[in-house]
Amino acid sequence: MDFTKEIGRRRTFGIISHPDAGKTTLTEKLLLFGGAIQEAGAVKNNKIKKSATSDFMEIERQRGISVATSVLAFIYKNFKINILDTPGHKDFAEDTFRTLTAVDSVIVVIDVAKGVEEQTEKLVEVCRMRNIPIIVFINKLDREGKDAFDLLDEVEQKLGLVVTPLSFPIGMGYDFKGIYNIYEKNINLFSGNSKKNIEETIAFDDLTNSELENVIGSKPAETLRENLELVSGVYPEFDMQAYLDGNLQPVFFGSALNNFGVRELLDCFVEIAPAPRPKMAEERLVEPNEKDFSGFVFKIHANMDPKHRDRLAFVKIVSGTFERNTPYLHVRQGKKLKFSSPNAFFAEKKEIVDVSFAGDIVGLHDTGNFKIGDTLTQGEKLHYRGIPSFSPEHFRYINNADPMKAKQLNKGIDQLMDEGVAQLFTLEMNGRKVIGTVGALQYEVIQYRLEHEYGAKCTYENFPVHKACWVDSEAENEEFVEFKRVKQKFLAKDKHGQLVFLADSAFSLQMTQQKYPSVKLRFTSDKQV
């Protein structure tokens, strides 16, 4: 088996968007093309009994939203494609930010009627900070929406991208006739009943051909010719290198629900998207085709299978090959571990793999050895840079509602925090536990999972905190001791034992900074997560 060839056929990407833009539906349809599933189930609440393959937590099925990142893989045209389907809901943004450390490129899904939404802006900003190649997919064209050119302008202005359309819609909503594929020079006609199967395309190398009128009608044909002329006049030509460097973003149009425009996206994607890319460790730049294995944990998911108490650590392989039953160095703990049943994913289906290559994601059964950001290597001491913890927006005391289950509650909280669902702060004064989250919905998820996965019940009490600030003091000087004495009821320790100041208001934060200038307060923890 040719090692470099194997790595070259890997494509690992994330799908990101604002909630409800059709991200999970697009994932499903990509799996349909890859022959990985026979029938797609939309992610709508209770409308369709078959729920989406990538949403496998009960709470997701009830709400019709994705709350955990799922990993799906399939083979298409001899490429091995790994998709990371991320939660769009802003309450789960941290999970998505972390997932973006594990992808080589992304597809951004935009709703044709709503255009660019706030959550999309944040996520694209993270991608641009890391120069991740981006493809834009404008979805739901079978519904009435904004004009195609207006949408392209909005994407350029709000997301700061330089776009070039590689397909273009013929009509929209009720008048939606199909899509002209600029990249392959053919037309895909829309019949409206293709949810389950895959449409045929008609090749049109020459747009002046009068056959075009017969196929789509004379008015739409005329509009299409005008639009395409405008496209070639206004937008830059597609340049592969500019796309790979993160400086040019191709745009596709389609309707994921109706399975329309998805094949064009996928065909172009496997051709242009990057194979696994080098990654910077603190020590050096690591190339994917190095012989020695290295990888990092970007997500931990407890109880993937409710029947078995298991935790899976998701590891992105950065270099070399990962082999079953081979001892690898856990860099943080400085000990060797070996794994007898590493998993490859296909949503709910997991299979044990003997060997995985750079670019792949493997799931390792974990008994509590891993934290997010941990590095595994063949022996070299490498540390991959993670994403820091951000200060949460919401804070609540967590109380045990069933004294008989204190042990289960503590274990549950511990494991969920390892997963990075939320952050735990323990007050210095009385040892009470405070949970900080990015969004309020996470409290429901924590409560639900504690009850259903650990058999523990909890209640919450509000705890008025404006911001969590990590405390950085050069030395235990008098000022620092004074700060600790005066602010003791606002001090807590995070999971890593770092001191955190929980400021109750913006004013008190400002006053504290003025009064104790030598005490440095930071809004992010630099402990890699």
Q: Tell me: the pLDDT tens digits for 275-317?
A: 998 888 888 889 998 899 999 988 877 655 555 556 778 899 9
DSSP 255: B
How much is the pLDDT for 90? 54
Please determine, for residue 249, whether its predicted confidence score (pLDDT) is greater than 90.
yes
What pTM value is reported for the model?
0.74
Buried b / exposed e along 147-177 (16+ C-beta atoms within 10 A): ebeebbeebbeebebebbbbbbbbbbeeebb
How much is the pLDDT for 203? 62
User: What distance in Å separates the CA atoms of residue 324 and residue 203, rounded to the nearest whole number?
Assistant: 47
pLDDT, average across residues 223-249: 87
Confidence grade of residue 461 (pLDDT, cut at 50, 70, 90): very high
Higher pLDDT, 201 or 464: 464
Cβ(421)–Cβ(461) below 8 Å? no
DSSP string, 168-184: EEES-GGG--EEEETTT
Residues sharing a CB contact under 8 Å with residue 16, sequence separation 6 or more, in sequence order: 23, 86, 88, 96, 100, 106, 107, 108, 109, 120, 123, 124, 127
Report the chain's mean pLDDT, rounded to a whole number.
79
CA distances (Å), 105 to each of 45, 86, 97, 132, 420, in order? 30, 13, 13, 5, 23
Nearest to 179 by CA among 197, 204, 150: 204
- For the stretch 8-53, pLDDT in tens is 888 988 888 877 777 778 877 887 776 655 544 444 333 334 445 4
Please determine, for residue 383, whether its predicted confidence score (pLDDT) is greater than 50.
yes
Higher pLDDT, 59 or 158: 158
Confidence grade of residue 68 (pLDDT, cut at 50, 70, 90): very low
How much is the pLDDT for 201? 58
- Bridge partners (DSSP) listed for residue 76: 79
User: What distance in Å separates the CA atoms of residue 161 and residue 104, rounded to the nearest whole number?
Assistant: 18
What Rg, from alpha-carbon coordinates, does the chain have?
Answer: 25
**Half-sphere CA count of 55, side-chain side, radius 13 A:** 26
Structure-block tokens of residue 441:
């919905």
How much is the pLDDT for 446? 87
Classify burial at 466, counting beta carbons within 10 Å of its beta carbon; exposed 0-12, middle 13-18, buried 19 or more: middle
How much is the pLDDT for 196? 46
How much is the pLDDT for 350? 67
How much is the pLDDT for 40? 45
How much is the pLDDT for 135? 93
Structure-block tokens of residue 51:
């729920």
DSSP 504: S
How much is the pLDDT for 427? 92
Please determine, for residue 174, whether its predicted confidence score (pLDDT) is greater than 80.
no
Q: Counting every residue, how long is the chain?
A: 529
How much is the pLDDT for 250? 93
- For the stretch 209-222, pLDDT in tens is 667 776 777 787 77
pLDDT, average across residues 132-153: 87
Classify burial at 337, counting beta carbons within 10 Å of its beta carbon; exposed 0-12, middle 13-18, buried 19 or more: middle
Confidence grade of residue 193 (pLDDT, cut at 50, 70, 90): low
How much is the pLDDT for 69? 47
pLDDT, average across residues 146-171: 88
Share of the chain above pLDDT 90, in %: 13
Q: Which amino acid is at 400?
A: N
> How many CB atoms are located within 10 Å of the residue 471 CB?
18
Please determine, for residue 474, whether its predicted confidence score (pLDDT) is greater than 80.
no
Share of the chain above pLDDT 70, in %: 81
- For the stretch 99-118, pLDDT in tens is 788 889 999 998 888 888 87
Q: Which amino acid is at 220?
A: P
Q: How far is CA 454 from the centre of its chain?
A: 26
